[in-house]
Structure 1
Amino acid sequence: MDLSEKMLGHGISHPDLTRFIVILSFIVSVTIVTILATGGPAAQIMPQLYFFPVLYACYHYPHRGLWIAGICAVSYELVAIAFTYPAAMMSAVAIIQSVLFICVGAVVAHISGENERLRKRDDAGNELRRGVISTVAHELRTPLQPIMGYLNLLLEDTGGFGIAGETKTILNRCLKCVERERQIINQMLEFSVLESGKIRLDYSVFSVPELVTSIISTGGYASQAEITIDLPQNLTFDADAVKIGTVIDSMLTNAVAYSNPPRRIGIAYVSKDNDRCDRLAISDNGVGIAGEQLDAIFEPFQLADSGMLSRKYERIGLSLAIARKFIRLHGGTITVESTVNKGTTFTIHIPKVRVQEGSLHET
């Protein structure tokens, strides 16, 4: 079994091994070139350059890195005593330098180990949260199905069931409430799947004006607000049409929910020909968001002034978190500008060139 196989057996991947060898070779090359270029004694240069491979090894492989630090220290000591530091006093300096290698390696290995421990703890916490959200959502959705079924059955044949007047109005309100709860539960399930990283994009080239018009028509937004659309008729995106549609729908829902009549919503294409991204801006004349809360609104279960808004608008703060994750899967982002009591503008940034899957690091 060669060195590569042994290291792979200890959990070191080919990319890690290759990277380490490249960096170590680079350090050796720099050392030789520096000695030749400066004409300085190796004793003054080698000890300092030795730190680079030691630090790298200890950071990426905490326990194995200490062994590498020890090997570097011993090899440095042997070379120093045999060739570089023949005098007894200089040998003592070499010994101190060797001990320093191991000390530095131990500190870096400890820091790296702590970082890994915290990362694993965060991963475990996130996995637990996803599991709880998914379980709760499924448990909540189960009783809603028969409730919706019976309500629809009653409302489809009000005459046959002897339903009229105030009773019909109450049943319609109940159905709307159940539908709203179902949408919230579906958001919770969708968010848990997004958190697990199991969502994949289905790219296609689609017409943005047609998508926007369809969303406005299906959602009935035109009857709730005055909507101005400023989009080139030939505008197309190369993206996942369903995911982008969900994002736009969330933005319009928020624009309507957090505005008071007369509501005015604008949808505009604000990108230039030489921009890397297509930009779609959705603005409203709503309540606005305070500057210190702009980042928090994209966090799950967060609302600007959540205590008041969650009660008034009956929201749980997942739509924007889901929207941002969908856009990040495309390699884009969502920015927001807002003035309290004047309105908010959300801008969706979608790369014009499709991002290769696997090149993203979604957080």
Structure 2
Amino acid sequence: MAKRPELAPKQRERSGGSTEVMHGLDPETLQLLLTETFQQSPSFLAVLVGPTYVFEMANEAYFQLVGHRELIGKPIREALPEVQKQGLIELLDHVLETGVPYVGKAIPATLARIPSGEPETLYVDLAYQAITDETGARIGVLVHGNDVTAHVQANREVERLLKESRAAQEALEDANTQLEEQQAELESTNHQLQENAVELEAQAEELEVTTQDLAERMVEAEASSQRARFAGAVGEAITSGGALAAVMQRCCEAAVTHLDTAFARVWVLEPDEQMLVLTASAGLYTHLNGTHGRVPVGQFKIGQIAAERRPHLTNGVVGDPRVSDQEWATREGMVAFAGYPLPVGEELVGVMALFSRRELVAAAFEALETASTAISVAIANTKLLESERAARVAAEAASRGKSEFLSMMSHELRTPLNAIGGFAQLLEMEVRGPMSALQHDYLNRIQRAGQHLQSIIAEVLNYAHLDTGRMSYDTRDVAVETIIDDAEMLVAAQIAEHGLTLARHHDPSWAGSLHHVHADGEKARQILINLLSNATKFTAPGGRIVLSFAVAGKCVEIRVSDTGRGIKAEDLAKVFEPFVQIDRMRTVVPQQGVGLGLAISRDFARGMGGDLSATSTPGKGSTFTLSLRSA
């Protein structure tokens, strides 16, 4: 048998480039739940992709439908060659081309379900639904339906039996006519009358047997049809999605409608309290409060089913010791009860139960057990999705709170810093009289400290904006030489002050011409300033910094290399993490800031469609490469 496809947990990619499972969910648990949901659906499901309708996914019901053939990865014409002239592929084409779903009832399909065997004609309730990607383009078709062959055959059998019954009735009428015509002859001889009477009695008995057999077959055919409709309704309720209570309510209503039960209910387990909470109720009772609104595990018949993890099935409600209110059961005429625990793996998620005023046959119990398995997975999956949504809302609220707090703190910090800077400028202008050299030195220290604090505030705010996705980019065509010239002009004095030399190299083919990149010029310049400043901090006096640039495919690479002490291999990946400073006390120039410069720089680069990477050899130096898209 072909390997079943597995459903992977939804992932997202942060702006920092790392991939993680959303909200800390266990990937294996999520994969198990989603795979079970798909595989345990009582309806057959398959996903076909591309113009040749390649089987991407199919559940157990679908494999059973087509005879457990190799499907996954094959186009439909190769996997199921016998369907090519049955009009089904043309329906797929229409759905994929127009996006209009197709729904058909009791569609005949001829399938070779046994290798080298004769094809069988099946009847299916079938739905084709176009699948679209994130851009809205149609990329495939979802196939969903139910095998209703038994229902169709049962209807045909009923029609055949009805035809036989009519023929028998007509024969009886003919016999009666003949009897009337021969009445005169029968009166002439008592012996002949007695013989005819015996013959007539035998015919009547035969007709009675035929009629009784017909009635029994009709009852069984209708019951089979009801069970098929019940399975289809439960599958549709689960796959249609929605809130947990709404999904469970539709499942309960399906049991009442198609199995003719008095009422059906579903309780969902609250694991922390070991409490079963009534979530859905349909039929005779629709309220969710009352005595059985919250049932502790182990108490009442519902709690006992949960504790024992075993179904409780009976066609003798009156007299069943687990049904505590025998007076109610007698008054309401209750006959049958079916209660099923709802486990997913080793974890119990709830209990499903129903009462009926008629006996439930073995086939009905089997249909309920199959439905309980699908409902178990649906509860677990829906609760998981609801938890994800709640966690996402909480995370978004926390992110907004963080941004608001940082903005407020930025304002509160910048106000006194601006005042300090303003008064420092007044002192520098000697508005209140001349200052000594020592006073000028103190003043310079104050101004540098203020500028440093302003820089830290700007870095923290930039990172907050990047982290929340609020950073905007003004991308346009910018000359690489302009970006480099501006950055070099702003750090040249710092490089010279620390006794370093700065050299520039570029692609010889660029001589006399400018090369443009598609980027935000201000952010690209800020990245280069950060890289050149870091190279200055980590390079001893007498060292050398090289700024080079060249075309690399569809990008321009700008490299900043130094002859500093380098970075260990195990530390290289950490330099782009926020709030990380490698060997803070071992820099040539004492490090300042909060360790956000490289993290922000790489996020800026990726936000412009480029990247920032690093290589290093301890004791020889480091090279940081900024890649930007060529214009």
**Higher deviation after alignment, 223-232 or 174-183:** 223-232
Matched, 1:105 2:105: no
Identical pairs, percent: 22
Cα–Cα, structure 1 residues 118 and 237, in superposed 2: closer, same or farther, change >3 Å?
same
CA distance in 2, matches of 1:127, 1:308: 37
Unaligned runs of 5+ in 1: 1-23, 79-87, 354-363
Whether the aligned pair in 2 keeps the contact of 1:187 and 1:319 (CA below 8 Å) is yes
The letter of the residue matching 2:538 is Y
The letter of the residue matching 2:506 is L
Cα–Cα, structure 1 residues 66 and 290, in superposed 2: closer, same or farther, change >3 Å?
farther
**Aligned match of 1:194 in 458, 463, 466?**
466
- CA offset at residue 258 of structure 1? 2.6
Whether the aligned pair in 1 keeps the contact of 2:495 and 2:536 (CA below 8 Å) is no
Matched, 1:230 2:505: yes
CA distance in 1, matches of 2:530, 2:619: 20
Structure having greater relative contact order (Cα 8 Å, sep ≥ 6): 1
CA distance in 2, matches of 1:214, 1:205: 16
- CA offset at residue 105 of structure 1? 1.0
Count of residue pairs brought into register by the alignment: 315
**Higher deviation after alignment, 141-150 or 297-306:** 297-306
Name the residue aligned to 1:134.
Answer: 407
Structure with the greater alpha carbon radius of gyration = 2
Name the residue aligned to 2:562.
Answer: 284
- CA offset at residue 308 of structure 1? 6.8
Structure 2 counterpart SS, 1:336: strand
Name the residue aligned to 2:624.
Answer: 346
Name the residue aligned to 1:120.
Answer: 393
Name the residue aligned to 1:144.
Answer: 417
Alignment map for 1:157-306 (pairs within 5 Å): 157=430, 161-220=433-492, 221-223=494-496, 224=498, 225-232=500-507, 233=510, 234-269=514-549, 271-273=551-553, 275=554, 277-305=555-583
**TM-score with structure 2 setting the length:** 0.43
Name the residue aligned to 1:70.
Answer: 251
CA distance in 2, matches of 1:272, 1:314: 34
Structure 1 counterpart SS, 2:433: coil
Unaligned runs of 5+ in 2: 1-42, 49-57, 66-75, 81-108, 114-119, 125-144, 148-231, 260-360
- CA offset at residue 25 of structure 1? 12
- CA offset at residue 271 of structure 1? 4.2
Q: Deviations over 1:293-326 (max 9, x none)?
A: 44443333222245777x9312211222221222
CA distance in 2, matches of 1:321, 1:102: 47
CA distance in 2, matches of 1:316, 1:209: 30
The letter of the residue matching 2:383 is H
The letter of the residue matching 1:162 is P
Structure in which a larger fraction of residues adopt strand: 2
Whether the aligned pair in 2 keeps the contact of 1:279 and 1:348 (CA below 8 Å) is yes
Whether the aligned pair in 2 keeps the contact of 1:65 and 1:105 (CA below 8 Å) is no
Whether the aligned pair in 1 keeps the contact of 2:483 and 2:524 (CA below 8 Å) is no
Aligned Cα RMSD in Å? Answer: 4.1
Cα–Cα, structure 1 residues 196 and 28, in superposed 2: closer, same or farther, change >3 Å?
closer
Structure 2 counterpart SS, 1:312: coil
Q: Deviations over 1:184-226 (max 9, x none)?
A: 2222233333344333221221111221122111222552432
Structure 1 counterpart SS, 2:546: strand
Structure in which a larger fraction of residues adopt helix: 1
**TM-score with structure 1 setting the length:** 0.70
**Higher deviation after alignment, 221-230 or 324-333:** 221-230
Q: Deviations over 1:249-300 (max 9, x none)?
A: 1111212123322332222335423x4x333222223343343444443333
Cα–Cα, structure 1 residues 139 and 295, in superposed 2: closer, same or farther, change >3 Å?
farther
Matched, 1:335 2:613: yes
Alignment map for 1:23-62 (pairs within 5 Å): 27=46, 36-39=110-113, 61=242
